[in-house]
A and B are shown apart, each in its own frame.
Chain A
Amino acid sequence: MSFILGILLFVAVVGGLDARLPWPKARRDAPRKDLP
């Protein structure tokens, strides 16, 4: 039970709330310059 609860609390609740903090972004989709 502690394992399942730990997963739910840390991944879903804590991780979900943390995702709304202004950390630097890690996505690979940096905008590219348009071709002429």
Chain B
Amino acid sequence: MIAGHFGFAAAVKARAPRAPLWALMLACVWLDVVFVPLFAMKIETIENLPGTASGYGQGIIHADYTHSLVGALVLALLFGSVAALRWRATVGAVLGGVVFSHWLLDLPMHRADMPLLPANAGHLPLLGFGLWRWPVASALLELALVLGGTFLYGAAARRVADGGTASRARLVTILILGCGVLTLGLNLLGQ
């Protein structure tokens, strides 16, 4: 899931207008941002399902640090703490919450590959409800998050915009929808 996280962040902006949207957008994919260097170092890996090429939801993701429950909580706490230093404590709490929302939104999508503890310590049961087995359903869920986030953001942006910024508010709303659909489309194509 990529686009769905961005849709959720747009929805949060409507309820927490003091939190900068760029920071919300970064927060919602922070677990994946940290995943990238660990993936490059082969500390975290993606294993294609037998008989499939890499594609939308067709992998077992061994992100045993970034996407473990405790790892996600630690990353959320760190992100939220840094944000609270720069902005208000409430904004830090919102951004930390959005970081952790990534884990919650991934939970229904992932096949059972999300550990509770970093490095899957203790070999406890792995989590993930596996909605990716049904790509149409998971893509529709992501699209719903994009559409819902766009709608809520658009309504909030219209309320705060004045005569000089109304067109910019419309542009940002349209871009959230367009970028969300584009990102989801590329993701579905396996890009």
Which of A's residues lie within 8 Å of B, judged by CB?
1-3, 5-7, 9-28
A1 contacts which chain B residues (CB < 8 A)? 186, 191
For A30, give the chain B residue with the smallest CB separation.
Answer: B88
Instruction: Give the contact-size bracket for chain B.
Output: 35 or more
Q: Is the CB of A26 within 8 A of B88?
A: yes
Please judge, given known A-B contacts A24-B17, A25-B18, A27-B87, whether A10 and B179 are in contact too, CB under 8 Å. Answer: yes
For A27, give the chain B residue with the smallest CB separation.
Answer: B87
CB of B152, distance to nearest CB on chain A (Å):
14
Q: Is the CB of A23 within 8 A of B160?
A: yes
B34 at the binding interface (Cβ < 8 Å)? no
B23 contacts which chain A residues (CB < 8 A)? 15
Query: Residue-by-residue, is B75-119 near A (CB-CB < 8 Å gives 1, otherwise 0)?
Result: 000000000001110010000000000000000000000000000
Known pairs A21-B169, A22-B160, A23-B18; list 6 more (Cβ under 8 Å): A1-B186, A5-B182, A14-B179, A15-B21, A15-B22, A26-B20
B6 at the binding interface (Cβ < 8 Å)? yes
Q: Tell me whether chain A's interface is mostly helix, strand or loop, or mixed.
A: helix
Q: Is the CB of B175 within 8 A of A14?
A: yes
- The answer, among B3, B176, B191, for a CB contact under 8 Å with A14, is B176
Q: Is the CB of A5 within 8 A of B186?
A: yes
CB of A4, distance to nearest CB on chain B (Å):
9
For A1, give the chain B residue with the smallest CB separation.
Answer: B191
Cα of A1 to Cα of B187 in the assembled complex, Å: 8
Please judge, given known A-B contacts A14-B175, A15-B25, whether A28 and B186 are in contact too, CB under 8 Å. Answer: no
